[in-house]
Amino acid sequence: MRFSGKTMWLAAGTVLLAGMGAAYGVFNDPGADLKNFDQSKVVMSPDRIARGKYLATLGDCAACHTADGGQPLAGGRPLETPFGPLYSTNITPDPQTGIGKYSFAQFDRALRYGMAADGHNLYPAMPYPSFARIAPEDMRDLYAYMMKGVQPVAQTNKPSGMYWPFSMRFTLTGWRKFFGNLQPFTSDPAHDAAWNRGAYIVQGLGHCGACHTPRGLAFQEKSMGAGGNYLAGAVVENWQAPDLRHIWAAGGIATALKTGRNPYATLTGNMVDEVEHSSQYWTNDDLAAVGHYFEGLSGGTNTGFVAVKIPDNLYTSRGGLGYVQFCSSCHRKDGAGISGIFPPLAQNPAVTSAGAATLIHIVLTGAHSAKTADAPHVFTMPALSQLKDNELAEIIGFVKSSWGGAAQNSVSESDVASVRRALGAQSGAPEPYITPLFADMISAPNATQLVRGMQLNMDTHTLLPHNVGAALDCNSCHLNGGTVAKGSPYNGLIAQFPSYAPRAGKVISMADRINGCFLRSMNGRKLPVDSADMRAMLAYFEWMRGNAKMGGKIPGRGTSKISMKIIPNPVRGQQLYGEQCAICHGKNGEGVQNSKGEWVLPPLWGAHSYNIGAGIARTYTAAGFVKMNMPVAARQKFPISQGSAMSDQDAVDLGEFFSHQPRPDFPDKVKDWPKDPKPKDSRY
């Protein structure tokens, strides 16, 4: 949530006025009715402890109370607020630094009313207004687990860094009275038992409203469990928590909570922790109940859903061209994504939400999917912070206008700059490689020809079906239209032609080199040298010449050089393929097609792949490409999260395995290397 200086002082005034009342004893001590609670009513049996563990999982206590790399529930995790940093506390049963000396009454008072055992007030970053709804028997089982099922850790709590006047905790007594709305959960007889179970989880232990409900001037949730603002969406730590009242049907909600993804979206930001540490472990009945509850709020439809289609201005706007270059390989030109792998942008709450906070956050810092038992493969989106604020605004604005539905709000350069400052995301490309930007083609005198040349590289088999005999594009090997460093980029390439080619045994032109790819890598036919399409491709290469000269060093050129002294192990390569490659290229190298039968991820062998005359059909050439570029979406490396930092040995093993699988023959192979020796890894 963003606060201006004026708003913060209004909030401060509200809290101070409330605190003045508290200072004069206007309000009673919360939890006074529990002071004489019989501690023997808390049963510490194994089954109650186990049930308490599940309740702690429902509440995702670990998300806030476990620091990165720290001991479970020992606290120390920084929590950023508009009023200064807080650090979560040690809630292990250590008697000196944790909650080991808490009676049940003190434990209940802390969770339900926000008051520690020694009487000091807790900041509502701990969602006690939601936890006030926890049923008494659940609270007792939760206490049993925290005292007997958690390993004690001696770790002193860190002091908060809250700014004055928010550092004065006594004011929170008044805040609690005015804004806490500390009401127990009550079932709604108008709904069935499953709906009420879902409501109990969402409103109570799940504390969904803490992030998804807008906050008022005093940082209070505007609604608690009901009302027009409840779960209406809010900006939290520069993430857009979406409106949950208009979200997916029950099955989509349950699937997202179980796996971190569904056909409409991949959960990001804080929800990754929620899924990994909490909701993936919920029972199927509880997942269904939560889905049923949300479906009852929304009618089971997201009113922002829009059609999946290719935008009319995809190739005629700077934002569209930026999207083609940096987004379309995963999210596709029509915003449909790739089922089970990359999320769609059409029908995605991050896009259809009124604000653009999540989109800006993701493009600046990157994101990754949750790792769960049902979806163990993590997919990563890179940070695109190297791009300038205006360039990112153009791309995000294009996405919003294309698939935002009713939320087609514009995104400005200042919007991106503001979030960049808040996140500390650096800009600027690392030297010496500079990524050419498709968006810059639009201002060239021959823009139409250049864009056509780019399209021919990105969608070769679709646009030139008579010349391509495989389900491949130039883009399959020359990533992002040949603009990725060490992804066989085209930067400065045309300056190296004409040049001698050992495989041909003669000097060849750039057009000859292109036609070599058509014949081999795309198992097709030559493109006439004087055709408009060949001229467009050559113009595109010329646009990417830069300052390169014949024989000059070109940063980022090629892929990686792998020593031919490394002995390949194809058995190990097959294992690596199954672990890292099959999810995108198929168990049997068959590639991936969408519901329309269109190829969205290329086959690596078989009738629709490249033939044995292609360079990548050779073990060490394949290994060099794989090492630098595969798999995509593996780590947050600009621009497509390519590469997994595998060893040269692993790359050679993989290259040997998939390059030697069955693939089309190359009839003209007998003409290759007429003067020069063949490479030792040649397929023929």
Residue 511 within a domain: yes
If asked whether residues 533 and 580 sit together in one domain, one would say no
Retrieve residue 172's tokens.
């929170």
> What pLDDT shows up at residue 301?
52
Looking up tokens 């201005």, which residue turns up? 313
One domain, residues 453 and 517 = yes
Burial class (CB in 10 A: 0-12, 13-18, 19+), 495: buried
CATH number assigned to the domain comprising residue 600: 1.10.760.10
| Inside any domain, residue 433 | no
Answer yes or no: is 170 within a domain: yes
- Helices (H) and strands (E) counted in the chain, each on its own, are 27, 12
- Residues 74-124: tens digit of each pLDDT: 999 988 777 788 899 999 999 999 999 999 999 999 999 989 999 888 888
Confidence at 247, pLDDT banded by 50, 70, 90: confident
63 with 153, same domain: the answer is yes
Q: Is the domain of 270 the same as that of 377?
A: yes
Same domain, 143 and 242: no
Tokens representing 356? 């653009």
pLDDT at 16 over 70: no
Query: Same structural domain for residues 350 and 457?
Result: no
In-domain check, residue 603: yes
Q: Are residues 56 and 144 in the same domain?
A: yes
Query: What integer is the mean pLDDT of 380-401?
Result: 95
pLDDT average, residue stretch 581-598: 95
- Say whether pLDDT at 175 is over 80: no
**Residue 116 shares a structural domain with residue 66:** yes
Q: Does residue 193 fall inside a structural domain?
A: no
Show the domain range for 606. Answer: 570-671
Question: Which residues on adjacent β-strands are paired with residue 501?
Answer: 506
The model's pLDDT over 407-448, given as tens digits with 9 standing for 90+, comes to 777 899 999 999 999 998 887 766 678 899 999 999 999 999
**Cα–Cα–Cα angle for 537, 440, 428, nearest 5°?**
120
The pLDDT value recorded for residue 600 is 95
> Is residue 280 domain-shared with residue 237, that is, in the same domain?
yes
Residue 235, helix vs strand vs coil: strand
Residue-level pLDDT at 25: 42
Asked whether residue 203 is assigned to any structural domain, the reply reads no
Tell me if 77 is assigned to some domain.
yes
Neighbours of 44 (CB within 10 A): 15
Least trusted range by pLDDT, from 380-394, 542-556, 603-617: 542-556
553 near 619, Cβ under 8 Å?
no
